[in-house]
Amino acid sequence: MTNPVTLLIIFGIVLVLLFILFYPKTGFYWRLQQSYKTDPKILIEDILKKLYHAEDNGTKLSSDHIINSLNSSPKKILETISEMEDKELIRFKKGEIKLSETGMDYALRIIRVHRLWEKYLSEKTGFHKKDWHEIAEKMEHKLDSQQTKQLAINLGNPRFDPHGDPIPTETGEVEQLNGKPLPKFKEGAIGRIIHIEDEPEIIYKQILAEDLHIGSHIHIIEKNKKRIVFHSEGEEFILAPIVANNITISELKKEDISEKDTFRLSNLKEHEHAKIIGISRECRGEIRRRLLDLGFVMNTKIEVDLTSPMRNPRAYLVRDTSIAIRNEQAKFILIEKIKIHAETN
Amino acid sequence: MKTNKILNTSNDLRWQIGEGFHDKLTEGIYSDAATIAQNSVHKKGDAKRFRFDRSLDKIVTSKIWGFPIMILILSVVLWLTIIGANYPSGLLADLLIGEIYPWLKGIGESLGFSWWLSGFLFDGVYLALAWVIAVMLPPMAIFFPLFTLLEDFGYLPRVAFNLDHLLKKSGAHGKQALTMSMGFGCNAAGVIATRIIDSPRERLIAIITNNFSLCNGRWPTQILIASIFIGALVPENFAGAVSTLAVIAIALLGIFFTFIVSLFLSKTMLKGEVSSFTLELPPYRPPRFWKTIYTSLIDRTLIVLWRACIFAAPAGAVIWLISNVSIGDSNIANWMILHMDGFGLLLGLNGVILLAYIVAIPANEIVIPTILMLTVMSAAITGVGEGNGVMFELESVPATGDILKAGGWTLLTAINLMLFSLLHNPCSTTIYTIYKETKSVKWTTIASILPIILGFTVCFIVTQVWRILA
Amino acid sequence: MQKPTNSACEGCDLNQASNLKKLGINIDNNDYVVALAGNPNTGKSTVFNALTGLKQHTGNWPGKTVTRAEGGYNFNNNKYKIVDLPGTYSLLSTSQDEEVARNFILFGKPDVTIIVVDASRLERNLNLVLQILEITNKAVLCLNLMDEATRLDIEIDDRTLARDLGIPVVPTSARSKEGIPELLKTVHQVATGEIICKPHRIKNVPKNINNAIEKLRLEIEATYPNVPNSRWIALRLLDGDERIIEAVKTGEFITE
Ligand SMILES: Nc1nc2c(ncn2[C@@H]2O[C@H](COP(=O)(O)OP(=O)(O)OP(=O)(O)O)[C@@H](O)[C@H]2O)c(=O)[nH]1
Ligand SMILES: [Mg+2]
């Protein structure tokens, strides 16, 4: 019989090899697969998008900017740019690149697919927010106009993507957002989050970690060069201005909002009573419908019934029934605490 | 076209109404419902939830008692099954194999059956059936009713509630706890039950991992081997308790593998985020004891047994055939055992066990009789067994142990067999059900192969480590 | 799963005394099709077993039944085919786990739909009831689990309820077979048209949505004049239900 130690070592080596080959994303096999596909079409479309966003922000782009911001070889990018000029997608104006009319149309089409696909991911799939952008980046190059149209119809021709960005229509119209970045507001201002920018990724991840929701009301408490403090849904948030800059707020007048104290259901303590005010817009698709169907609708009385051994999920008493949901979903249900005086038996 | 006009209008209107359609509609319906209910429902006093229900729920989902109670209930059910099944199993074996078998053989002889027909029918088909009935009926007749009582009482949703967090951590759905529970009865039923999971990704995870819930065809194997090899390590008074513990350990290991494999799948092939979990916790309902026992005996037990018999009969025939048809100078069975022995020993098993698992793909229930028969044949133990390809149940557990030991079995072989019985391909019915539910050859293949790879790996490591230590 | 066998009902004549004859799975040549719908865990399968004498699995947790099961019974010389469905919370969702039930209620064209509800949680159950009443004119409310409601000191005025909903209401305790004879009789009366239902239609719909529904409904009726539940179709189209969009394209629901 072979020595067991030798056998185990051989086994270990095989395991390590498989690991190196197939480790998700960075595995050798996947990289090899990846290196096969760099499509000139994708590069063109990526450049168009860059230009569109730049024009939208009012910044100017030269070829150098583009070379620095995309990770393809400079040679290839320059070739592509001149090809795009030949096709009259772009024009040069004093060293600065501008989109032509056709280029603009093309760019809007790509952006439409991108945002529709993010909407699709948010409504119909279980992918996490942080992955939407990356997946949509791939899909935007793949869908033709017929498929895009079908997708839009299936989603009910949405007007905004899940980040609050307007989705260009088929004819290339884009709605304007009438809000300003969070740091532009003064202390004491009250507003509603209408958009959260998902690029760059580092900042988006920080915002995600804070767990802010589109559609929630915020109240700015403190603002200075170092930080902005605000309240939303019964919780306090502290952000650096650079992070806050990626959150767009539309201001609300004091009269527009009732002076109710809104909390998240996940914050409800045992023995407290509450009434449901609504479900956050951040909660979408199937799960939103399921919660509504289960009776988590406006003005329903609710209290905590049971807490599982690991504190999540919890069961709530809604319309005489105990329904268990995870804290991740309870967070989206907005409540107002109510007092019940005589504790009934 | 006219229909297109309708669709266009509806698209325009949808655009105008905006996002809140579903919300507003549901709110509307619920407010109608509230009005109607108010008119006709009169609640006297405050009957929120029954006091008893609530206090019980507080305990079974509490931080301290939640998990221990789950394990305790599982243990009690298993213990009752193991202890309770022993005696009737022996009786049935005496009757079916000790009495009826010789009688049938006699009839065959008097009718002038040729040796191969009598062998095929009585030694193959009949003995396989007899074994399945003797070994499976008693534990099932105890396990199923107990389980059904728990189910009717309303305990299962609480298990799902308690386990959800762990399942979520491994990328699975909380309701997988329910489908796992169904799998403890029968994996095919467990696979169908996964329909309650509405996220396709998590449903696939639940389907693939359902095999790690020991199904009722595998409980008897676990119980028998644990009694022979592990119960025998301790004084007789503790034997029952220790073998029960061993079986519980395997069952818990299965649950552990469910978590690990779910995690693995959700990080690799079935990447994606956990979806949501919503579960209504129904009130406890005192089950109607006798009625439950009666129905679960009649339908569940007998139907599952029927299925087992259908598969056992042809398998019995196959066993008899491969040990009587020869190629070259030995029969097929011997030839296969010889060729698989090397690989088997590497895994701490042997060729006999591997061949038995191939023969037993249709039904896990017949693994042990096949192993016994093949062991006798290949080791040519004289004085036991009836001849080539004759399946038999030995009257006593120690006698079965003697045969296995004579066939070269050690404690290590026994442990590995228990592990392998947990970690091997699903039975053919389950595989077919998986295909029907997923409609995908790819996932069916993965669900069938993955557990075997895992089984080989685990047995291999256990064996080699054991050898280093021993 | 359960295939209908060919043997006709041989013993029917012998059974005149009791009006009910359980046919088990002999469900050929039925006169009427009855669907059992309702929220999960309200006792649909228990009612099914009481009617057919079959042993459909029941269990005290939502989601026990996941596939549809069929059985039959004989009442007053009429053969009924009855279909046990998985529980659903709503017909408005598009979730996969509720698809079987949703499709049968919408497209299976049952002659009568028995809606089984939990009497001790009537309000939340009415959500589905009101939705079903938008679709069909022939329904019976089976107010099940009455024993539990009584234990919890809940009283239900079934006459008022029947009046408000516009369909007959039968209180039952399916597990002890209480109220089952009345249920059979009522189903029979609804099936044969002896009782005409005037189902409640959802009222509390916001103005703008209601306007949209009406507009679309008129268009649907212009194209398909014989559609009985155009309002429901309009509602689902506005919600973007792909299954209904498909059905509108093919005209699937018009064959009445
Ligand atoms: N006390 C009481 N219990 C009942 C009655 N009817 C049903 N039950 C119990 O309620 C539980 C649920 O019954 P099922 O018939 O499985 O419910 P279902 O509606 O088919 O459930 P799903 O298939 O999950 O949708 C079972 O434990 C039944 O024994 C009744 O009238 N009284
Ligand atoms: Mg059922």
**pLDDT for position B179:** 94
Q: Is C240 on the interface with A (CB under 8 A)?
A: yes
- Name the residue with the closest Cα to ligand 1, atom 16: C58
DSSP, res A213: -
Structure tokens at A86: 């030949």
**pLDDT for position C11:** 33
Instruction: Kindly report, residue by residue over A39-66, the tens digit of the pLDDT.
Output: 778 888 888 888 888 887 777 778 888 8
Taking residues B191-218, what's their average pLDDT? Answer: 91
Alpha-carbon dihedral angle through residues B261, B266, B269, B270, given to the nearest 10 degrees: 120
* Contact across the interface for B281 and A293, Cβ inside 8 Å: no
Q: Is A155 on the interface with C (CB under 8 A)?
A: yes
| CA C61–ligand 1 middle distance (angstroms) | 8
Instruction: Kindly report, residue by residue over B100-156, the tens digit of the pLDDT.
Output: 888 988 888 888 888 777 777 787 778 777 877 777 788 778 888 888 899 999 999
Query: Per the domain annotation, does B52 fall within a domain?
Result: no
Query: Per the domain annotation, does B359 fall within a domain?
Result: yes
Per cent of chain A over pLDDT 90 is 17
Whether residues B248 and B179 fall in one domain: yes
Whether residues B92 and B220 fall in one domain: yes
Q: Are B389 and B416 in contact (CB under 8 A)?
A: no
Q: Could you give the CA distance from residue A278 to residue A300 in angstroms, rounded to a whole number? A: 10
pTM, full prediction: 0.86
**pLDDT for position A269:** 92
Confidence band for C256, pLDDT divided at 50, 70 and 90 = very low
Whether residues B330 and B465 fall in one domain: yes
Whether residues B238 and B319 fall in one domain: no
Query: Per the domain annotation, does B238 fall within a domain?
Result: yes
| CA A339–ligand 2 middle distance (angstroms) | 39
Query: Per the domain annotation, does B18 fall within a domain?
Result: no
Q: Could you give the CA distance from residue A222 to residue A217 in angstroms, rounded to a whole number? A: 16
Whether residues B247 and B375 fall in one domain: no
**What are the angstrom distances between the C-alpha of A88 and each of A60, A75, A91, B128, B315?**
19, 20, 7, 80, 74
Q: Is the CB of C45 under 6 A from ligand 1?
A: yes
Report whether pLDDT(C175) > 70: yes
* Contact across the interface for B164 and A344, Cβ inside 8 Å: no
* Contact across the interface for C92 and B31, Cβ inside 8 Å: no
Spatial CB neighbours of B217, under 8 Å, sequence gap ≥ 6: B136, B308, B363, B364, B365, B427
Report whether pLDDT(B13) > 60: yes
**Stretch 12-51 of chain A: residues touching chain B, C-beta under 8 Å:** 24
How close, in Å, is residue A245 to chain B by CA atoms?
27
How close, in Å, is residue C153 to chain A by CA atoms?
14
Report whether pLDDT(C163) > 90: yes
Report whether pLDDT(A344) > 70: no
Whether residues B191 and B68 fall in one domain: yes
| CA C49–ligand 1 middle distance (angstroms) | 11
Taking residues A202-221, what's their average pLDDT? Answer: 85
- Taking CB atoms and an 8 Å cutoff, what residues of chain C touch B33? 123-124, 126-127, 129-130
The pLDDT mean for chain A works out to 84
**Strands (E) located in chain C:** 20-24, 32-38, 69-75, 78-84, 112-118, 139-144, 154-156, 169-171
Q: Which atom of ligand 1 is nearest to the CA of C47?
A: 15
Q: Nearest by CB to A127, which of B161, B202, B272?
A: B272
**pLDDT for position A343:** 47
Confidence band for B437, pLDDT divided at 50, 70 and 90 = very high
Number of Cβ within a 10 Å radius of residue B37 = 19
Q: Could you give the CA distance from residue A158 to residue A177 in angstroms, rounded to a whole number? A: 15
The number of angstroms, rounded, from the C-alpha of B460 to the middle of its chain's C-alpha atoms is 23
For chain A, the residue count is 345
The pLDDT mean for chain B works out to 84
| CA C69–ligand 1 middle distance (angstroms) | 16
Whether residues B288 and B369 fall in one domain: no
Q: Is C63 on the interface with A (CB under 8 A)?
A: no
**pLDDT for position C132:** 94
Q: Is A290 on the interface with C (CB under 8 A)?
A: yes
Q: Is the CB of C147 under 6 A from ligand 1?
A: yes
Q: What is the DSSP string of B381-440?
A: -TTSSSSTT-----SSHHHHHHHHHHTT--HHHHHHHHHHHHSSPPPHHHHHHHHHHH--
Q: Nearest by CB to A297, which of B27, B61, B165?
A: B27
How close, in Å, is residue C81 to chain A by CA atoms?
30
H-type alpha helices, B41-123: 51-60, 66-93, 101-110, 115-118
* Contact across the interface for A321 and C95, Cβ inside 8 Å: no
- Name the residue with the closest Cα to ligand 1, atom 8: C43
Chains contacting A (3+ CB pairs below 8 angstroms): B, C
Q: Could you give the CA distance from residue C109 to residue C29 in angstroms, rounded to a whole number? A: 16
Whether residues B266 and B317 fall in one domain: no
How close, in Å, is residue C153 to chain B by CA atoms?
6
Convert A198-225 to b/e letters by CB count within 10 Å (16 or more is b).
beeeebbeebeeeebbbbbbbebeebee
Q: Could you give the CA distance from residue A143 to residue B314 in angstroms, rounded to a whole number? A: 53
Taking residues C222-241, what's their average pLDDT? Answer: 84
Query: Per the domain annotation, does B390 fall within a domain?
Result: yes
| CA B285–ligand 1 middle distance (angstroms) | 9
Q: Could you give the CA distance from residue B7 to residue C219 in angstroms, rounded to a whole number? A: 10
Instruction: Kindly report, residue by residue over A256-290, the tens digit of the pLDDT.
Output: 666 567 889 998 998 899 999 999 888 888 889 89
Query: Per the domain annotation, does B176 fall within a domain?
Result: yes
Instruction: Kindly report, residue by residue over C123-143, the tens digit of the pLDDT.
Output: 999 999 999 999 898 999 999
Q: Which domain holds residue B192?
A: 64-273+284-295
| CA C102–ligand 2 middle distance (angstroms) | 15
**What are the angstrom distances between the C-alpha of B286 and each of B57, B74, B155, B290, B291?**
14, 19, 11, 12, 12
Q: Is A125 on the interface with B (CB under 8 A)?
A: yes
Q: What ipTM is given for this predicted complex?
A: 0.88
Q: Is C95 on the interface with A (CB under 8 A)?
A: yes
Chains contacting C (3+ CB pairs below 8 angstroms): A, B
Whether residues B348 and B465 fall in one domain: yes
Structure tokens at A332: 């989206």
Q: How many domains does chain B have?
A: 2
Instruction: Kindly report, residue by residue over B229-271, the tens digit of the pLDDT.
Output: 888 888 888 887 888 899 999 999 999 999 999 999 988 888 7
H-type alpha helices, chain A: 4-22, 28-35, 40-57, 63-69, 74-86, 101-124, 129-139, 145-154, 201-210, 241-244, 285-293, 327-330
Q: Are C20 and C147 in contact (CB under 8 A)?
A: no
Please give, one letter per residue, the 3-state secondary structure of C9-23: CCCHHHHCCCCEEEE
The number of angstroms, rounded, from the C-alpha of B19 to the middle of its chain's C-alpha atoms is 46
Alpha-carbon dihedral angle through residues C214, C216, C217, C222, given to the nearest 10 degrees: 130
The amino acid sitting at A268 is: L
From the list B349, B370, B311, the residue with the least C-alpha distance to B456 is B349
Instruction: Kindly report, residue by residue over B294-304, the tens digit of the pLDDT.
Output: 887 777 777 76
- Taking CB atoms and an 8 Å cutoff, what residues of chain B touch A278? 23
User: Which has more pLDDT, A241 or B363?
Assistant: A241
- The number of C-beta contacts closer than 8 angstroms across A and C is 35
Whether residues B338 and B257 fall in one domain: no
**What are the angstrom distances between the C-alpha of B40 and each of C39, C117, C157?**
20, 14, 5
Report whether pLDDT(C244) > 90: no
Taking residues A173-191, what's their average pLDDT? Answer: 83
Q: Are A165 and A158 in contact (CB under 8 A)?
A: no
Structure tokens at C116: 């089984």
Interface mutation vs chain A, best among B167, B275, B276, most A CBs within 10 Å: B276
Whether residues B182 and B130 fall in one domain: yes
Report whether pLDDT(C66) > 50: yes
Q: Is B303 on the interface with C (CB under 8 A)?
A: no
Per cent of chain B over pLDDT 70 is 92
Query: Per the domain annotation, does B397 fall within a domain?
Result: yes
**Stretch 182-221 of chain B: residues touching chain A, C-beta under 8 Å:** 198-199, 201-202
Report whether pLDDT(B392) > 60: no
How close, in Å, is residue B399 to chain C by CA atoms?
40
Residue with tokens 């009752």, as numbered in its chain: B80
- Taking CB atoms and an 8 Å cutoff, what residues of chain B touch A308? 61, 66, 161-162, 164-165
Per cent of chain B over pLDDT 90 is 37
Q: Is C215 on the interface with B (CB under 8 A)?
A: yes
Structure tokens at A275: 């009434």
| CA A301–ligand 1 middle distance (angstroms) | 27
User: Which has more pLDDT, A33 or A67?
Assistant: A67
User: Which has more pLDDT, C108 or A300?
Assistant: A300
Taking residues A25-39, what's their average pLDDT? Answer: 71
How close, in Å, is residue C14 to chain A by CA atoms?
46
- Taking CB atoms and an 8 Å cutoff, what residues of chain C touch B40? 122, 156-158, 160-161, 164
The dihedral through the CA atoms of C44, C46, C52, C54 has a sign that is: positive
Taking residues C141-151, what's their average pLDDT? Answer: 94
Taking residues A63-85, what's their average pLDDT? Answer: 81
- Listed residues: CB within 5 A of ion ligand 2: C 44-45, 65
Q: Which of A90-99, A260-269, B43-52, B380-389 is predicted with the least confidence, judged by mean pLDDT?
A: B380-389
Instruction: Kindly report, residue by residue over C2-22, the tens digit of the pLDDT.
Output: 333 333 333 333 333 356 777
Q: Which of B191-195, B416-420, C211-215, C225-229 is predicted with the least confidence, judged by mean pLDDT?
A: C225-229
Whether residues B289 and B323 fall in one domain: no
Asked, as a colleague might, if the bond just before A24 is cis with ω within 30 of 0, I would say: no
Query: Per the domain annotation, does B86 fall within a domain?
Result: yes
